Amino acid sequence: MLRYKCEKHKRHFVQIGRWTATSKPCSNCGFRNENLTLSDRRWTCSKCGRHHDRDINAAINILQAGIAA
């Protein structure tokens, strides 16, 4: 459906891998938080100290993966 909407509005569509990790890597420095569980909604990167909302961090990582593709 998203692909269809992009085509309809003449937008470029990039699909990232289904299993691409998006929640665990810090969108600021790339550090991968292996201790993150599904119940952790907010977390702080132990490498750079950035505070994250899990969903917003994942959205930024998805955007970055799409731009890099």
Assigned token pair, 68: 């890099």
Q: Which residues of the chain are under the pLDDT cut of 70?
A: none
pLDDT at res. 37: 92
Answer whether residue 11 is part of any domain.
no
The alpha helices in 2-53, defined as continuous H runs, are 2-8
**Could you say which DSSP state residue 63 is in?**
H
pTM summary value: 0.81
pLDDT at res. 68: 87
Answer whether residue 10 is part of any domain.
no
Answer whether residue 29 is part of any domain.
yes
**Are 26 and 50 spatial neighbours (Cβ–Cβ below 8 Å)?**
yes
pLDDT at res. 20: 83
Task: Give me the number of domains the chain comprises.
Answer: 1
CA-angle at 67, arms to 25 and 10, nearest 5°: 135
